[in-house]
Structure 1
Amino acid sequence: MANLFTPTKVGAYTLAHRVVLAPMTRLRTIQPGDIPSPMMADFYGQRASEGGLEIIEGVSISVTARSYLGAASFYHDGQIAGWEAIAKAVHAKGGRVFMQLIHGGRQSHVEMTGGVDPVAPSVVPFEGVALTKDGFVPASPHRALDIEEIPGIIEEFRAAAQRAFDAGFDGVELHGANGYLVDQFIQDGTNKRTDAYGGSLENRVRFLREAVEALISVWGADRVGVRISPSGEWGGISDSNPEATFSYVATVLDEYKIAYLHVIEPRIKGDDTLHEGHEPVATHYLRPHFSGTIIAAGGFDGDSAEAIVTSGDADLVAFGRHFSSNPDLPYRLKHGLPLTPYVRAAFWGGDEKHYSDFPAYQVEPESVVPEAEPVV
């Protein structure tokens, strides 16, 4: 672990190590109102470390942006105190915390969007799901956004970024991955538009550009990150030439000098490993196109994280599943300690059990040998 535990600069901040908490939708908000719960503050506080970075699970920017009942959002004042508590819990341990902002696009249901049809760049049927009071159900039919509606969504991203700023966070990450709205605009399998937001690569990336610029207007470029998932399969997403598309995306984002580019390797689909034993590929072909900090995510353990940082393809590595059950994951990786197995059944909702009740590593006390009685 010679390189994974060395300091590094990420945008405006210097971190003490390169083990990042990945954003994971865990469905632990208080309903109604998507209020961040005390157990969420416990969860993030437990996983904070001195000079470490945490990225908070996808936070919906409006009612119509929501996809999953119980997931995080930040669009009304009743949520402020809960988010402030989470930021304070991370800062109390000396960590840095970015809030990931998301619009679900077509991956939603009318029960989650306030009764209106989910939106997308284009109408392209898919077999996606959303989470409602009835559990995971087929997504509602979606409609194509009118071009006049797009500035309003960009403004929602800006407003949510401002809320994160006011709540005491250290930065924001744009969720441009996993088949949600930003990704739907980027990839030609979901973007069939013929206006200024469709057709050419430049046009398909226009929505991403405008969202990034909205976040930068609040935070400055050095406290904004972007997450992408080249060749990812979550959300029925596809592109005819993903390497060309995402190489261009990386080049565009490099121009802004953002804090980091966060890349999900295509061997992962959501919380599942699709291709066991596959080497990282996306970060390798993106590295020549992005001169800033790259965070790699998707299927890493300690050894493979050390290897990709050593190779130079990535500068930091984000962990989700292993971090879910090991609140002191950086310490365990650094010292070669065993990892507690994660509990998949608790990933998508529940209470504190198998969420915020995982203990830190306990060192077994050495057995004490009693002194011999003196001979008289």
Structure 2
Amino acid sequence: MTSLWTPTTVGNVRLPHRLALAPMTRSRANADGTPSDLVPTYYAQRASLGLLITEGVQPSEDGQGYMMTPGIHSSAQVEGWKKVTAAVHAKGGHMFMQLMHAGRMSHPDNTPHHRQPVAPSALSAGQQMFTPAGMQDTPVPRALTTEEVGQTVEDFRKAARNAIDAGMDGVEIHGANGYLINQFLAPNANIRTDRYGGSIEKRARLAIEIATAIAEEIGPERTAIRLSPGLDIGGLVEGPDGPELYRYLIGELDRLNLAYLHVFHFGSEQLLKDIRALWSQKLLVLRPGRTLDTLATDIETGLADVVPVGRWGLANPDFAERLRQGAPLNEPDANTFYSSGAAGYTDYPTLQPSQSAVA
């Protein structure tokens, strides 16, 4: 695994190795969308992972989907995130904020304004989600007007500026995992007849416009995007033209010279190889189900430049040190993934000083 320990540069950020912390929803925000007092500690504990990608952060009030998730659209939220970035930078880490609009994967009971969710089309996800009253069906969303889609682009632009003002090193656009941008890509969720629906080029337009707006606002070297080709989730079915859509989309995004593309890989190996060939900048690849002994495989074969880790990083604040030494790992406690408080969040143990000393 020696390839994991070679330094690299992502955008303007110099990283000591090829590991990163994957974005993971943790539901530890305050009711107003500000990060709770535990959040700076949580991320600072994991600073040795080098590049930390935050949990999904809503760029607007309408972007919220789940309970107790953070935002970056108010001045109070910006001030709250400043504490997080200061804590991480003090430990030598770097942070990209993931900007996530949940779209139809939402419920009014989870949001302060209790409005109907918005989406490309008025089509239900057919899913359930946890709310203060327990599990409920996601409601039929309201279709965004063409003008509102344009406003959504501006919401992302402003959120990116707010993230940089809060001290972030960059932002990752969440275009994956069944959320708003992914909903625009999927033909069974997007039946629009305007410039954002129909052909591959039109369904990909929102992702390209958001990436372009953010790159113009904060610089392409501080802009990244996450995609999940082949992952049918949240009621989405990408359909037979999915691979062609992603080849087109990634080719267009490559023109922007972004910091990185983050692929949540569930699809075909051939498509991943095509993506690697199309993409000129750094590529992050997260493969669910990897084992520790295959963690470096994509780097060694040239398919990836950085490998994010999720649950391993969640349960092991010092994952990089443990991996380097071959030390045993803590097991993640799934019962506390989305609960409140420190349990299963900031209380995972690290190696003892005598164990963690590296020659």
Q: Return the TM-score normalized by structure 1.
A: 0.89
Residue 340 of structure 2 aligns to which amino acid in structure 1? G
Amino acid at match of 2:314: S
Equivalent AA in structure 1 for residue 79 of structure 2 = A
Q: Given that residues 23 and 57 in structure 1 are in contact (C-alpha distance below 8 angstroms), is that contact kept between their aligned partners in structure 2? A: yes
Alpha-carbon shift at residue 281 of structure 1 (Å)? 6.4
State the number of aligned residues: 352
Whole-angstrom distance in 2 between the partners of 1:343 and 1:330: 20
Q: 1:328 is matched with which residue?
A: 318
**Which range is displaced more, 342-351 or 283-292?**
283-292
* Residue 97 (structure 1) aligned with residue 67 (structure 2): no
Show the counterpart of 1:346: 336
- 1:126 positional shift: 2.6
Contact 1:64 1:112 (C-alpha < 8 Å) held by counterparts: no
Q: Would you say the 8 A contact 1:67–1:131 is kept in 2?
A: no
Query: Aligned residue for 1:261?
Result: 261
Aligned to 2:123: 124
Alignment of 1:291-302 (within 5 A): 291-299=280-288, 300-302=290-292
- Aligned residue for 2:96, secondary structure, equals strand
Indicate the structure (1 or 2) with the bigger Cα radius of gyration: 1
Q: Which structure 2 residues correspond to residues 182-193 of structure 1 after superposition, within 5 A?
A: 182-193=181-192
The one-letter amino acid of 1:112's match is: N
Aligned CA distance change for structure 1 residues 306 and 280 (closer, same or farther; 3 Å):
farther
**One-letter amino acid of the counterpart of residue 342, structure 2:** E
3-state DSSP class of the match of 2:3?
coil
Q: 69, 72, 90: which one pairs with 1:71?
A: 69
Would you identify which runs of 4 or more consecutive aligned residues in structure 1 move more than 4 Å?
279-282
Q: Distance in 1 between the 2:271 and 2:308 partners?
A: 15
1:151 aligns with: 150
Q: What is residue 246 of structure 2 aligned with on the other side? A: 246
Q: What is the match of residue 25 of structure 1? A: 25
Displacement, 1:280? 6.1
Q: Would you say the 8 A contact 1:189–1:238 is kept in 2?
A: yes
Amino acid at match of 1:340: N
Deviation at 1:316, TM superposition (A): 0.5
Q: Which moves more between the two structures, 279-288 or 195-204?
A: 279-288
Alignment check: 8 A CA contact 2:173 2:211 kept: yes
CA distance in 2, matches of 1:203, 1:159: 23
Distance 1:286 1:80 in 2: 34
Which whole-Å CA distance do the structure 1 matches of 2:88 and 2:51 have between them? 9
Q: Which residue of 1 aligns with 2:7?
A: 7
Does 2:35 match 1:36? yes
Distance in 2 between the 1:346 and 1:222 partners?
A: 35
Q: Determine the C-alpha separation between the residues in 1 that align with 2:131 and 2:213.
A: 30
When the two chains are superposed, the root-mean-square deviation of aligned CA atoms in Å is 1.7
Q: Once the two structures are superposed, what CA deviation does each residue of 1:11-34 show, in whole Å capped at 9, x if it has no partner?
A: 122211111000100000122x02
Conserved in 2, the CA contact under 8 Å of 1:27 and 1:349? yes
- CA–CA distance in structure 2, aligned partners of residues 289 and 180 of structure 1: 24
Q: Alignment identity in percent?
A: 39
5+ residue gaps, structure 1, are 268-278, 366-376
For the 8 Å contact 1:61–1:75, the answer to whether it is kept is yes
C-alpha displacement of 1:349: 2.0
Q: Deviations over 1:315-334 (max 9, x none)?
A: 10111111110001111112
Cα gap change, 1:149/1:314 in structure 2, threshold over 3 Å: closer, same or farther? Answer: same
Conserved? CA contact 1:187–1:245, under 8 Å: no
